[in-house]
Amino acid sequence: MVDKQVRLGDLLKVDGLNPMNIDVSYIQSVSNMVPKDGSIDLHEAEKLATIFLRCADYCGELISQAVRLVGYKDAERKAKKADAIENKITKGTPATTARETYSNDASYISASNSHSEAEAFLVWIKQKYENLIKAHVLCKDLLKAHVEGRSMASWEGAEEEFDPLAGTEKSIKVAESSIQSSIEKTTSDKTSLGDINIEDDFLNIN
């Protein structure tokens, strides 16, 4: 059960938000954990995967705020542009000239700078989010490869321990040796029979 309701509007509130004053030390510190060469210690991979994912989740919230802020600042910039042109025309500046020179109005310049800062914030936070997600996936892939490697090694070990054909070759050799011995014995017996002279034995009996 959720004890307190959380409105999305409260999370994405941008009134008075200055992206240049947002504390990004947490994001920066986690980003610094991402290896520059993509090399991650296997023993740290599981912990880092969680750290990267949690920080990416936080970046996702800021991205939503940044998108809303960009839209808000863009509307404000356009409003200041219209005001600047109208003020110039009110002061007697020709409409054509007013439309060409509105960009030097102080209010418009301030609004335009705020819009640019909001866009820069959006680009920055999106890049951080993407890098953290890639780092998270890298850690998960490393862990997955390690688990699969251990499973393969266990399977290969099991195959070596249980080989139903392991004794077949030896049994065949024993059988061949036994058959050869029988053949030699039979041949020897035949030679002995061939040496017996039945006729001589019959004459001796008589």
Shared domain check, 155 and 63:
yes
Percent over 70 (pLDDT), the chain: 70
Shared domain check, 86 and 64:
yes
Shared domain check, 84 and 177:
no
Shared domain check, 104 and 175:
no
Q: How many domains does the chain have?
A: 2
Residue 123 belongs to a domain? yes
Shared domain check, 148 and 76:
yes
- The model carries a pTM of 0.66
**Tens-digit pLDDT profile for residues 121-138:** 999 999 999 999 999 999
Confidence band, pLDDT 50/70/90 cuts, at residue 102: confident
DSSP string, the chain: --SS---HHHHT--TT--GGG---HHHHHHHTTS-TTS---HHHHHHHHHHHHHHHHHHHHHHHHHHHHHHHHHHHHHHHHHHHHHHHHHTT--HHHHHHHGGG-HHHHHHHHHHHHHHHHHHHHHHHHHHHHHHHHHHHHHHHHHHHHHHHHHHHHHHHH--TTTTHHHHHHHHHHHHHHHHHHHHHHHHHHHH--HHHHHHHH-
**50 has a pLDDT exceeding 70:** yes
- Angle at the Cα of 135 (from 24 to 151), degrees rounded to 5? 150
Residue 181 belongs to a domain? yes
Residue 12 belongs to a domain? no
Residue 136 belongs to a domain? yes
- Taking each helix axis from N to C end, the angle separating 42-90 and 106-161, rounded to the nearest 10 degrees, works out to 160
**202 has a pLDDT exceeding 60:** no
What is the average per-residue pLDDT within 65-90?
93
Shared domain check, 187 and 135:
no
Residue 8 belongs to a domain? no
Q: Which structural domain range is residue 184 located in?
A: 169-194
